Amino acid sequence: MLHPLHVTWDDVAWDSGDAEYPEFLEGLAGAWVPAIGNTGNYLFDVSGRGNNGTLTNMDPATDWVSTNYGPVLDFDATNDHVGLGTVGLLKTRSQFTLMSWFLQNNAATFYRAIMSHSQSGDGPNRLLAFMTLVASGDSALHFGTAGYGYTASGVFPASEWHHGTWVYDGTKSTNADRAKIFKNGIEQALSFSGTIPATTHSQNYAHTIGAEHATAPTFNGRIAGTLLWHRPLTPGEIQQMYSLGPTGWLARRRRRTYFDVGGAPPPTVRKTWRALTLARR
């Protein structure tokens, strides 16, 4: 059974004037949502920014799989990933929110990225990342060697679908205010190492979904949607997104009828309404 608010390509609102939830288009920098529908070798950016991704080391025939969320991408923990190129989405940023619906298959030995902005061999800027440590079920918001915040073990256990949100606000003054992680709309307690920086790194590295970088071991599981805003979402917005699911927030504005607000059309239009109703039968 599909998520009750599932939206397909035919139902997507492409601008704020037609959107049921235009507030979520504000500050939206990228939206890669496999659950809308299978698009073969590409993962299209439905934010309107044009930052489309390319499935790399993945077979469209087997790595698009059906779930209750709709089609999702399956990552093999070896080399599967979606490459977005050096698009600058996370370069020198002081604020962002990353959100994803994901399922981890089983335990792994090290971090596996939901999304990253990094390059192999660069320790200080190794990773501006949103990681899930499958082995112990925790998650971290990681800024290379500068610092990171992480949840307790067991927050994101394997073999379950999770809605994860990683919020960064470098304009704040403390680690606890700069980095926050939410699970299923609920903020989680974090521990910290080092200092969360005021801005992200300035290197022009590639952006990747499902891997730390193009040659690193990849995520082990399935991803139904990955969204990026250049602003910190509020706790209320995060809770609403959790309830809407990976595609529900993309719905077109619902066209109200007389019956939506109770009762039949007024007498002046009742005859026309009946004619249209009969014509559609």
Q: Tens digits of per-residue pLDDT, 121-174?
A: 555 455 445 555 545 567 777 776 778 888 888 888 888 999 999 999 999 999
Per DSSP, the residues of 106-159 read S--SSEEEEEEE--TT-STTS-EEEEEETTTTEEEEEETTTEEEEPPTTSS-TT
- Domain assignment of residue 192, yes or no: yes
Q: What is the pLDDT of residue 277?
A: 35
Per-residue pLDDT for 258 more than 70?
A: no
Q: What is the pLDDT of residue 214?
A: 65
Which residue reads 């205010």 in tokens? 177
Which domain CATH number covers 155?
Answer: 2.60.120.200
Q: Do 201 and 158 meet the contact criterion of CB atoms below 8 Å apart?
A: no
Residue with tokens 């981890």: 104
Q: Which residues have C-beta within 8 Å of that of residue 35, sequence separation ≥ 6?
A: 3, 6, 67, 69, 70, 71, 72, 101, 224, 225, 245, 246, 247
Query: What is the band of 14 on the pLDDT scale with cuts at 50, 70, 90?
Result: confident
Q: Among 86-100, 176-190, 196-210, name the most confident range.
A: 176-190
Question: Is the separation of the CB atoms in 126 and 145 below 8 Å?
Answer: yes
> With 50 as the cut, is the pLDDT of residue 254 above it?
yes
pLDDT mean over 65-81: 92
CA 64, 220, 113, 82 torsion-angle sign: negative
248 domain-assigned: yes
Considering only 28-32, 193-197, 200-204, 256-260, which range has the smallest mean pLDDT?
256-260
Total count of domains within the chain:
1
Average pLDDT over every residue of 196-221: 82
Q: What is the C-alpha to C-alpha distance for residues 159 and 107, in angstroms, rounded to an integer?
A: 9
Evaluate whether residue 156 is within a structural domain: yes
pLDDT of residue 119: 62
pLDDT of 274: 39
Distance (Å, whole) CA 86 – CA 91: 9
Of 196 and 104, the structure prediction assigns the larger pLDDT to 196
51 belongs to a structural domain: yes
Residues 6 or more apart whose Cβ sits within 8 Å of residue 118: 125, 126, 127, 128, 129, 144, 205, 206, 208, 212, 213
Residue 1 lies inside a defined structural domain of this protein: no
CB 151 within 8 A of CB 190: yes
Residue whose structure tokens are 């949502």: 33
User: Hey, what are 49's tokens?
Assistant: 């920014």
pLDDT higher than threshold 50 for residue 103: yes
Q: Which pLDDT score, from 0 to 100, does residue 247 have?
A: 96
Q: Residue 219: its pLDDT value, please?
A: 83
**What is the C-alpha separation between 264 and 162, in angstroms, rounded?**
43
Residue 4 lies in a domain: no
Examine the pLDDT at 271 and tell me if it is beyond 50.
no
Q: Any idea which residue has 């990353």 for tokens? A: 98
Q: Name the least confident of 61-65, 109-113, 168-172, 268-272.
A: 268-272
Residue 267, domain extent: 9-280
Residue 75 lies in a domain: yes
Q: What is the pLDDT of residues 28-40, one digit of tens each?
A: 999 999 999 999 9
pLDDT digits (tens, 9 = 90+) for 31-66: 999 999 999 999 999 999 999 999 999 999 999 999
Listed residue (40, 34, 36) closest to 9, CA to CA: 36
Distance between CA atoms of 16 and 24, rounded to whole angstroms?
A: 9
Answer whether residue 90 is part of any domain.
yes
Rounded CA separation 190/31 (Å): 26
pLDDT at 95 over 50: yes
